[in-house]
């Protein structure tokens, strides 16, 4: 759980501090006031990334040379951790947890699982296959401890194999050893993904039933090579092609979630609004699986819901999130913009204007 956050020279904030509630935190303010930027800073604490830009120098306030974000996070074991990140215009990023350098972003993700619903969420349906792979792997990472080491093993084996392919006159025995690794680790990752998807589907169906009014969607997993075929044999078969393109064309790194309706792929059939609703439903299903089936926790960020979904669907998402009972930050133009949001004594409301943040309730 995120308890405290301090921003310095981050986007349009010169300095802001807030103490968050364990339940719903509503952030209200006009257009361009700094609501999304606040969520972006929090997302950064849990992922090391922004959900809006890959150019982190954009986060540095225009009038400053360096942006800094500091967060106090209570782990699931109730241990308080302090995370600090700073970024200058030259591209140097310092990332520390409890005074020591963070070695990998997975360290942050373990401590602060965070999921963001924002205008870019639609990428999970409309974006490239990598967006759906990331989606699937986000879920796996948080529920299956063995996923990360396997993923690292696969990346290492692919790196070595691709290096050999590009080197030209390679040693066939060395290549065979990497083929073996790529194939066996891909099989294991595919097994985890298959099981994860089977666990996810009932939650997805429940979410769709709750949100309503979407045509039936079928979700299937493409493993990254022709299903049922032996990857090791395929790697040998494709060797010349892989050598020409300089990378490995088949394996778990090319997996994909396929979304279709009776009438064809969702991308060709759904309206823009239906696509957005489906993308939110996919993320909700993942949260339900994490929280309800695995007892996990997740900080949920919801940006600009009212401008993304119509009232009926946005109300349904709010109700689904409230049922989930996780720490949540929701942005809105005004405190009464989300009538479905049930507020209680624990709800905190913050107002932001020109990067100045104040607590209202």
Cα–Cα distance measured from residue 143 to residue 137, given in angstroms and rounded to the nearest whole number: 10
Stretch that binds ligand ATP, among 15-23, 34-42, 70-78, 108-116 (CB under 6 A): 34-42
Which residue, 182 or 332, is less far from ligand ATP as judged by CB? 332
The verdict on 62 binding ligand ATP (CB under 6 A) reads yes
Helix (H) or strand (E) holding 33: none
Site for ligand ATP in 297-316 (CB under 6 A): 304
Contact flags string 251-270 toward ligand ATP, x per CB under 6 A: --------------------
Largest CA distance in the chain: 70
Residue 276 annotated as binding site = no
The verdict on 35 binding ligand ATP (CB under 6 A) reads yes
The verdict on 36 binding ligand ATP (CB under 6 A) reads yes
Residue 35 annotated as binding site = yes
Smallest gap from Cβ 60 to ligand ATP, in A, equals 6
Residue 32 annotated as binding site = yes
Helix (H) or strand (E) holding 91: none
Q: Between vectors from CA 199 to CA 324 and to CA 192, what angle results, nearest 5°? A: 125
Q: Which two tokens stand for residue 127?
A: 């974006």
Which residue, 37 or 186, is less far from ligand ATP as judged by CB? 37
Which residue, 27 or 231, is less far from ligand ATP as judged by CB? 27
Helix (H) or strand (E) holding 290: none
CA distances from 130 to 111, 135, 334, 341 (A): 24, 8, 36, 33
The verdict on 11 binding ligand ATP (CB under 6 A) reads yes
Residue 37 annotated as binding site = no
The verdict on 33 binding ligand ATP (CB under 6 A) reads yes
The verdict on 31 binding ligand ATP (CB under 6 A) reads yes
> Looking at 25, 28, 34, 350, which residue binds ligand ATP (CB under 6 A)?
34
* Cβ neighbours of residue 349 closer than 8 Å, sequence gap 6 or more: 25, 26, 27, 28, 335, 343, 359, 360, 361
CB 76 within 8 A of CB 295: no
Which residue, 61 or 326, is less far from ligand ATP as judged by CB? 61
Cα–Cα distance measured from residue 242 to residue 230, given in angstroms and rounded to the nearest whole number: 17
> Looking at 4, 49, 58, 243, which residue binds ligand ATP (CB under 6 A)?
58
User: How many CB atoms sit inside 10 A of residue 350's CB?
Assistant: 21
The verdict on 60 binding ligand ATP (CB under 6 A) reads yes
Please give the backbone phi and psi of residue 73, each rounded to the nearest 5 degrees, phi first: -125, 130
> Looking at 29, 48, 113, 139, which residue binds ligand ATP (CB under 6 A)?
29
Smallest gap from Cβ 88 to ligand ATP, in A, equals 13
Smallest gap from Cβ 298 to ligand ATP, in A, equals 22
Which residue, 290 or 317, is less far from ligand ATP as judged by CB? 317
* DSSP assignment of 99-142: TEE---HHHHHHHS-EEEESGGGGHHHHS-HHHHHHHHHHHHHH
Annotated binding site for ATP: 29-36
Chain residues binding ligand ATP by CB under 6 A are: 11-12, 29, 31-37, 58, 60-62, 304
């Amino acid at each position: 759980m995120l308890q405290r956050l301090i921003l310095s020279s981050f986007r349009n904030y010169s300095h802001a501090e807030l103490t968050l509630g364990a339940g719903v935190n509503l952030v209200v303010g006009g257009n361009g006031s700094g609501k999304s930027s606040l969520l972006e800073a929090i997302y950064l604490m849990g992922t090391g990334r922004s959900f809006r830009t890959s150019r982190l120098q954009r986060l540095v306030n225009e009038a400053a040379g360096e942006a800094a974000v500091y967060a106090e996070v209570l782990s699931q074991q109730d241990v308080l951790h302090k995370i600090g990140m700073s970024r200058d215009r030259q591209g140097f990023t310092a990332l520390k947890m409890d005074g020591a350098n963070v070695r990998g972003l997975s360290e942050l993700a373990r401590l602060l699982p965070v999921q963001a619903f924002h205008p870019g969420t639609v990428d999970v349906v409309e974006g490239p296959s990598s967006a759906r792979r990331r989606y699937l792997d986000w879920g796996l990472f948080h529920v299956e401890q063995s996923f990360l080491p396997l993923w690292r093993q696969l990346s290492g084996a692919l790196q070595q194999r691709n290096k050999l392919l590009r080197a030209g006159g390679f040693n066939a025995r060395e290549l065979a050893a990497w083929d073996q690794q790529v194939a066996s680790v891909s099989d294991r990752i595919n097994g985890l993904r298959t099981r994860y998807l089977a666990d996810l589907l009932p939650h997805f169906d429940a979410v769709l039933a709750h949100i309503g009014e979407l045509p039936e969607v079928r979700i299937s997993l493409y493993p990254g090579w022709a299903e049922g075929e032996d990857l090791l044999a395929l790697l040998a078969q494709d060797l010349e092609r892989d050598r020409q393109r300089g990378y490995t064309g088949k394996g778990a790194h090319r997996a994909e979630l396929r979304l279709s309706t009776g009438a064809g792929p969702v991308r060709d059939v759904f309206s823009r609004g239906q696509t957005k609703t489906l993308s939110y439903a996919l993320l909700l299903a993942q949260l339900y699986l994490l929280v309800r089936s695995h007892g996990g926790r997740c900080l949920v960020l919801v940006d600009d819901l009212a401008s993304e979904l119509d009232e009926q669907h946005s109300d349904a998402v709010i109700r689904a999130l409230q049922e989930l009972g996780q720490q949540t930050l929701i942005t809105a133009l005004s405190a009464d913009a989300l009538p479905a949001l049930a507020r209680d004594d624990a709800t905190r409301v913050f107002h932001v204007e020109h990067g100045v943040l104040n607590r209202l309730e």
